[in-house]
Amino acid sequence: MSVPSMLVIDGRHIIAGRDLKTASNSSGVPAPSVTAAARYGLRKSADVSGHLGGTASNQSQPEENDEQRPLSDYLVGSFLEDALSKDDANTISIYWPFEETPDVQRKGKQAETTDWRGREAILYVCLNMIGEAKFIRLLSSRRRRHLFTYQFGQPPRENTTSLILVPPPTRSFVNTNAGLANYTQIAFEALNCATFSVMPWPVASLFGVGSGTGMVVHIGGYSTEIAVVVDSTVRTDVGGCVNIGKEDCILHLADLLSKDDAIRNQITAGIRESSSETSSHTTADSVFRELACGILDDEDRGKIIIPLASGQKAAIVGEDGEEEEEEGVLNVAKILVTGDTKTIQQLKENKNKKGAAANAAALAAAEKAASDRAAQAAAEKAADVQTYHVASLHLDVKVGPLRHRACEPLYRALDGMEYGSSRTVQEGMALVMKNLEPAYRQAVWESIVVTGDLARIPSLPHAITSYLNMFLLSNPDRETEEQPNHYRILKMPEYYPEFKNSSTNVAPFLGASIAAKAILNGHSISKADYNQHGPAAIYLATALE
């Protein structure tokens, strides 16, 4: 069996790697070796470069004449980053071929055209990036732009990789037959893979957290897809979509930042100084949006702590896995169970001590503890400030607790927003479950996994699901199949050291790695299958549908 490669596409991100250990029947699974942006760049022609700037290059579809360009003109990965860092960055148009447009994501409309040539270019590069051979760097800066002239992995003619592809989530996670056929054609004709298989995003996500039944909540750019999986089968008849996504969070946070006087003063001063030095026409709105994107895309996602629903409290768990006790509170039951006779004797002696001195000491200790708590709370509030860099102004901006409200559009019904609707993610989850047979409901509620780029914020899944209590039974002892009485958020398993403490945005990659052996032994198609049936061969062996 050839070495399998897993490639997970999440709209604007790609996670990929080669599962060497699973192929050799080892229990270990390596972490992803490639995490890249799912975009490419094309240099603008001379007649349009004058009026098209780099800031207007976040497009999903290239111009019609760009489709005729050779693959050697496509800038992907480090080549694109190098080009954008140079002075000629404004001559490059950037495209995101795997991301659905807002109309498709929000309204379910079919895309008129799909940039399959751009997708081929990105997949070609990612497959070579996870190869064992290192890239041969070119001395000529001009020839370095021609990515497909020199490979930094195995050339397609020598490729022996078995590719397992997890396509980007779509509405209700339904990939059209035409889309699967096109991926298959790219795999065998452009990438020359030995074998090829497609694994649905929800199934891969649940496999990654050790479950075959559950709910997958994928927070995308413009929408949140909710899928239900029962016994490793995607229940497309009960899936749903909520028109809320990361874009809504960016707009909401940018609006909050613009209304903060301290932050506005920092931005205004930075714009004034930048305009006087470089005659820049940067607007305040664009800077606030850039700052909002920087906060949500910061590598340290722990800087954002999403609050729970009113009245809900998060459990405090210590390093030993046991619930920590409040300082100064004596757990008598624990002492009696452990048989700590010394502490029990002290309790008896303290009980016998009476008098004004003991009472005064207890009162003084209580006042000191209260004072210490107040001082600590004030210090924490004052220290809850993070610094973020705004590249367009070369300015560092300090942002306080306001950043914790970034994801409010996901779980709160906000009015007056340019994007989004009044329906929240937790409401969408509850509505999806109404269409599922009662016998499966509780099992699904006990296996919830949140994926997508925003899933890297550790507190977000718990914050969203804390609002589910209104849909649960108030009396957990009441037995019923119709209404659930509890739910559970799944996290990455700890028995894979490479994924311990990782966020669930990498769950699909781990799931594909775990299922690699089973997929390649019975749910994949070979070159012989492709030669006999063509791209339609994928319909005969789609992995774990």
In whole angstroms, give the CA distance from residue 71 to residue 118. Answer: 9
pLDDT at 329: 39
Say what the pLDDT of residue 216 is: 95
Q: Please report the pLDDT score of residue 9 as a whole number.
A: 92
**Percentage of the chain with pLDDT > 90?**
25
| Mean pLDDT, residues 6-31 taken together | 72
- CA atoms of 279 and 89, how far apart (whole Å): 18
**Number of structural domains, the chain?**
3
Do residues 228 and 134 both lie within one domain? Answer: no
Q: What is the mean pLDDT of residues 469-476?
A: 70
Closest CA relative to residue 18, chosen from 157, 154, 173, 200: 154
Average pLDDT rounded to a whole number, residues 90-110: 71
142 and 250 together in one domain: no
In a domain, residue 34? The reply is yes
Is residue 474 predicted with pLDDT exceeding 60? yes
pLDDT at 384 over 70: yes
Q: State which amino acid sits at residue 58.
A: N
Structural contact between residues 239 and 173, judged by C-beta atoms closer than 8 angstroms: yes
Task: Confirm whether 401 is domain-assigned.
Answer: yes
For residue 115, pLDDT over 50 is answered with yes
Residues 169 and 241 grouped into a single domain: no
What is the model's pLDDT at position 145? 32
Q: Among 163-177, 182-196, 303-317, 478-492, whose mean pLDDT is lowest?
A: 303-317
Beta-bridge partner residues of 219: 224
Q: What is the mean pLDDT of residues 283-287?
A: 88
356, part of any domain: no
Q: Is 163 helix (H, G, I), strand (E, B) or coil?
A: strand
Amino acid at residue number 232: S
Instruction: Report the 10 Å Cβ neighbour count for 288.
Output: 25
In this prediction, residue 46 carries a pLDDT of 40
pLDDT at 381: 57
- Token code pair at residue 48: 């349009």
- 220 and 187 share one domain: no
- Strands 162-166 and 195-198, sheet pairing: parallel
Which of the residue ranges 19-23, 125-129, 236-240, 348-352 would you say has the lowest mean pLDDT? 19-23
Last residue of a domain, one of 419, 444, 478: 419
Q: Is the pLDDT of residue 178 over 50?
A: yes
User: Coil, helix or strand for 29?
Assistant: coil
H/E/C letters for each residue in 222-282? Answer: CCEEEEEEECCEECCCCCEEECCCHHHHHHHHHHHHHCCHHHHHHHHHHHHHHHHHHCCCC
**In terms of domains, do 181 and 299 share one?**
no
Q: 19 and 95 in one domain?
A: yes
pLDDT grade, residue 139 (50/70/90)?
very low
pLDDT in tens, 312-331: 654 333 334 444 444 333 44
Structure confidence at residue 290 (pLDDT): 94
CA-to-CA separations, 463 to 65, 146, 185, in angstroms, rounded: 47, 46, 42
- Return the pLDDT at 255: 93
Q: How far apart are CA 114 and CA 249, in angstroms?
A: 27
Are both 111 and 148 inside the same structural domain?
yes
Q: What pLDDT, on a 0 to 100 scale, did the predictor assign at position 59?
A: 57
pLDDT in tens, 195-234: 999 999 999 999 999 999 999 999 998 889 999 999 999 9
Mean pLDDT across the stretch 9-14?
A: 88
What pLDDT is stored for residue 541 in this prediction? 67
Confidence of residue 56 (pLDDT cuts 50, 70, 90): very low
53 and 170 fall within a common domain: yes
User: Are 90 and 181 contained in the same domain?
Assistant: yes
Confidence of residue 501 (pLDDT cuts 50, 70, 90): confident
Q: What is the pLDDT of residue 103?
A: 58
pLDDT, position 150 = 36
Any domain includes 455: yes
Q: Say if 357 falls within a structural domain.
A: no
**54: in domain:** yes
In this prediction the pTM is 0.77
> Does 82 fall in a domain?
yes
Cβ-Cβ contacts under 8 Å for 313 (sequence gap 6 or more): none
The torsion region of residue 385 among left (phi > 0), alpha (psi -120 to 50) and beta comes to beta
- For residue 234, list its beta bridge partners: 229
Given a cut of 80, whether residue 443 has pLDDT beyond it is yes
133 and 183 assigned to the same domain: yes
353 in any annotated domain: no
Q: What percent of the chain has pLDDT over 70?
A: 67
CA distance 172 to 170: 6
Same domain membership, residue 275 and residue 414: yes
Question: What sign has the CA pseudo-torsion 170, 175, 178, 184?
Answer: positive
Statement: residue 182 has pLDDT above 80:
yes
Q: 152: which residues sit within 8 A by CB, 6+ positions away?
A: 128, 129, 131, 133, 134, 135, 136
Write the pLDDT tens digit of every residue in 254-275: 999 999 999 999 999 888 887 6
Q: What pLDDT does residue 448 have?
A: 94
Could you tell me the CATH number of the domain that includes residue 494? 3.30.420.40
Residue 64 has pLDDT above 80, yes or no: no
Q: Is residue 175 located within the same domain as residue 264?
A: no
Domain, as residue range, for 391: 246-312+383-419
User: Quick one: average pLDDT of 12-24?
Assistant: 70
Task: Give yes or no for residue 368 having a pLDDT over 60.
Answer: yes
pLDDT score of 348 more than 60: no
What is the pLDDT at residue 50?
A: 34
- Tell me, what's the pLDDT at 124? 82
Q: How confident is residue 434, by pLDDT bands cut at 50, 70 and 90? A: confident
